[in-house]
């Protein structure tokens, strides 16, 4: 059996999430169907991170096993020919049998996009969170700094989160202004269910002036999700990169493309 790793990107707007569901269409389902056509037999894939409904990815990584031999082009161009337009395989690599898309990962990186302008955007619909309220990024950055490091993130995970431990190491939490677009970039050794969206919800409240900068650190210390902020919508979130030990030889994924010249702020 050969083990193959794939880099996958998708817009999550039309899917119930990554994971296969009986009641609705998932990204996993359409990818497995396309792979099965190329392999001429059923294929089951394992992913680095199960994204929720509406969440996008530019750097999802999956692996699967197959007894059939195909050139790398078949696992990219051939599979893409059988995928819908909003899902695409970016690269394919044979990997050692010890590789696992989820358990071999050493870090994951997400980006949350916020469009800050008085009127909504047609082009960024379902691709960024639109807010017509002015946001002050400086206090958001100050609050974010208190969250970096190894902490108990109970206040920032979903009540239904099944992780055994709420402790994670946040390597960075940065905000970049690109005209009307605000990029929130975050990387960690792992994330809890809804953790990024809950972090964004808290920082948005601080940016709007509804809460003080100290609120983020206070929530961290409380370790109580019921006292936390609103969960930000899924459609602004992107899984942009998954890191693995260099020995596996997987390609790095570029950052999400954006054109700051095309965006202007009226604030």
Catalytic residues: 52
Judge contact between 17 and 51, C-beta under 8 A: yes
> Tokens at residue 152, please?
């108990």
* Distance of alpha carbon 65 from alpha carbon 70, whole angstroms: 12
Judge contact between 5 and 250, C-beta under 8 A: yes
Q: How far is CA 254 from CA 26, 142, 213, 217, 237, in A?
A: 24, 27, 32, 32, 16
Instruction: From 198, 208, 185, select the one nearest 136 (Cα to Cα).
Output: 208
In this structure, the strands spanning 237-243 and 56-66 are parallel
Sign of CA dihedral 52, 55, 56, 60: negative
Which residues, at least 6 apart from 177, have a Cβ–Cβ distance to it below 8 Å?
137
């Amino acid at each position: 059996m050969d083990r193959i790793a794939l880099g996958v990107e998708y817009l999550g707007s039309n899917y119930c999430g990554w994971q296969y569901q009986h009641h609705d269409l998932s990204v996993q389902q359409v990818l497995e169907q396309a792979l099965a056509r190329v392999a001429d037999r059923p294929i089951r894939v394992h992913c680095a991170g199960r994204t929720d409904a509406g969440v996008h990815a530019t750097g999802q990584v999956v692996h699967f096993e197959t007894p059939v031999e195909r050139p790398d082009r078949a696992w990219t161009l051939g599979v893409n020919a059988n995928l819908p337009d909003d899902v695409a395989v970016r690269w394919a690599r044979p990997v050692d049998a010890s590789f696992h898309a989820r358990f071999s990962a050493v870090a994951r990186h997400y980006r949350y996009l916020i469009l800050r302008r008085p009127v909504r955007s047609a082009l960024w619909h379902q691709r960024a969170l639109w807010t017509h309220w002015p946001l002050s990024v400086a206090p958001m950055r100050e609050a974010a700094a208190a969250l970096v490091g190894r902490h108990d993130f109970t206040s920032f995970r979903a009540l239904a989160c099944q992780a055994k431990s709420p402790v994670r190491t946040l390597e960075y939490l940065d905000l970049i202004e690109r005209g009307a677009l605000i990029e929130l970039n975050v990387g960690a050794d792992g994330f809890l269910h809804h953790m990024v969206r809950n972090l964004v919800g808290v920082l948005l409240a601080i940016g709007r002036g509804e809460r003080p900068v100290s609120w983020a650190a206070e929530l961290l210390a409380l370790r109580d999700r019921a006292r936390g902020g609103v969960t930000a919508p899924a459609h602004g979130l992107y899984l942009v990169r998954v890191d693995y030990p260099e020995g596996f030889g997987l390609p790095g994924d570029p950052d999400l493309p954006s054109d700051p010249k095309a965006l202007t702020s009226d604030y």
